[in-house]
Amino acid sequence: MNAFSFARLAALLRKESIQILRDTMTLRIIILIPIIQLFLFGYAINSDPKHLPAGLLSIEDSKYTRTIAAALTNSGYYDIRVLRSEKEAEEGLARGDLTFVVAMPPDFDRAVDRGESPSVLIDADATDPAAIGNAVAALGQVAADLNRDLPPIRQMAPQTPPFQFVVHARYNPEQLTVLNVVPGLVCIVLMFSTLFVTTMAITKERERGTMENLLAMPVRPIEVMIAKIAPYVAIGYIQVILILVAASMVFGLPIRGSLPLLLGALGVFIASNLALGVTYSTISANQMQAMQFAQFTLMPSFLLSGFIFPFRGMPLWAQGLGNIFPTTHAMRIVRGVLLKGVGWSEIFPDIWPMALFTVVVIALATVAYRETLD
């Protein structure tokens, strides 16, 4: 065997460098991934969400009611809007349009003036305890600041609070983090498994040399797309059922809504990820490039979905970007059905974006599908 040669090593290194530089798509992705991660962590991620949507439910527009509403708004955590009925409040909490509902008791001003220390009930959507933690903690300071606006009779008895906030944690009374994480984990597991599997579907055929047989068949591109996606839908459902059974038995995860409705909605989510994977596989030259495309999508989809970091804490541009990805909508659906028991009307606003996403990416894959090996 010939001795080690630096000249041969230099030639091989030059060959590999040229090969890497020729793959411009891979180079772009390698550069973009760390930049996107930097901007997402630097600008989009916020563990202290402010300006949470809150509804004010009161039968009278009294002085103290306006004072409390103004104090909550000034805290920076609550964006107050007046509600017309309890039905509107319940629907807002169920859909996720409201994070809090502030319910003022009747004759609140008179009760305060009499020194009765009435209670102001705050219903909080506790499906994500981390999102409401700081806002709830700020209520103590809000109540203390309102002492300056008390009538003279109240100033004579400072040991008794003029009123008190009573927080009712809805859907997750004990504010257990596991009840927020486990439903979200259903979506994350499906996203990783289904996307990566189909990302290599077409490129694997091309690299193994079996693509010629597929192209020789009298099939249309859309038929190839559907055939690549359909088998993995069943696999995705098996994963969902396994996670739900284990979470229910081990962690006591409640299933308050319709299980068939949940499975139907998750079918759309599974299809969207499989379609995206097939699209990446179709436009990629090799498996490595396809995997890089998948990683390019996974990071923003994971960070902006609300799985780890509160969605409401992100800036508006990040929320808009997060709403493009099916994972964000699937996360709301799973938490809504399991923890809130919502129905079709509440989850439809999150189903149609996933369905539209699926149709668009399948159309892109069909257009990009090459019926020749050139």
DSSP codes joined into one string, 304-327: TTTSSS-GGGS-HHHHHHHTTSHH
Q: Is residue 87 part of a domain?
A: yes
CATH code of the domain covering residue 153:
3.40.1710.10
- Co-location of 89 and 182 in the same domain: no
Q: Is residue 5 part of a domain?
A: no
Domain boundary pick from 148, 170, 192 = 170
Q: Is residue 302 part of a domain?
A: yes
Domain count, the chain: 2
* CA-to-CA separations, 52 to 43, 134, 154, 321, in angstroms, rounded: 18, 11, 31, 19
- Co-location of 324 and 355 in the same domain: yes
Q: Is residue 183 part of a domain?
A: yes
- According to DSSP, the residues that pair with 81 across neighbouring strands are 55
Alpha helices in the chain (DSSP H): 6-22, 24-39, 63-74, 86-95, 108-113, 129-145, 152-155, 178-199, 201-208, 211-216, 221-250, 259-283, 287-303, 316-322, 326-335, 344-368
- Co-location of 99 and 187 in the same domain: no
The string over 193-232, giving b where at least 16 C-beta atoms fall within 10 Å of a residue's C-beta and e elsewhere, is: bbbbbbbbbbbebbeeeebeeeeeeeeebeebbeebbeeb
- Co-location of 110 and 252 in the same domain: no
Residue in 56, 84, 51, 53 with CA at minimum distance from that of residue 68 = 56
- Co-location of 213 and 329 in the same domain: yes
- Co-location of 162 and 246 in the same domain: no
Residue count of the chain = 374
- Co-location of 140 and 100 in the same domain: yes
Q: Is residue 47 part of a domain?
A: no
- Co-location of 228 and 344 in the same domain: yes
Give the span between the Cα atoms of 25 and 334, in whole angstroms.
36
DSSP codes joined into one string, 22-62: H-HHHHHHHHHHHHHHHHIIIII--SS--SEEEEEE-SS--
- Co-location of 315 and 201 in the same domain: yes
Q: Is residue 97 part of a domain?
A: yes
209: left (phi over 0), alpha (psi -120 to 50) or beta: left
**What's the confidence (pLDDT) of residue 204?**
64
**What's the confidence (pLDDT) of residue 109?**
84
Q: Is residue 63 part of a domain?
A: yes
Q: Is residue 70 part of a domain?
A: yes
- Co-location of 288 and 147 in the same domain: no
- Co-location of 161 and 186 in the same domain: no
Give the span between the Cα atoms of 26 and 285, in whole angstroms.
10
Domain boundary pick from 170, 198, 229 = 170
Tokens 């739900």 identify what position?
Answer: 244
- Co-location of 184 and 125 in the same domain: no
Residue in 185, 170, 127 with CA at minimum distance from that of residue 330 = 185
Domain boundary pick from 170, 198, 226 = 170
Can you give the residue range of the structural domain that contains 100?
52-170
Per-residue pLDDT of the chain (374 residues; tens, 9 = 90+): 567 677 777 777 787 777 666 766 666 666 776 777 677 667 677 778 888 999 999 888 888 888 889 999 998 999 999 998 899 999 999 988 999 999 999 888 888 888 788 889 999 999 988 889 899 988 888 888 777 665 555 554 556 677 888 999 999 888 888 888 888 888 888 888 888 777 766 666 666 655 555 555 556 666 666 776 777 788 888 888 888 888 888 888 888 999 999 999 999 999 888 888 888 877 777 777 777 777 778 888 888 888 888 888 888 888 898 899 999 999 999 999 999 999 998 999 999 999 999 999 888 877 766 554 44
**What's the confidence (pLDDT) of residue 309?**
83
pTM for the model: 0.81
* CB-CB contact of 88 with 55 (8 Å): yes
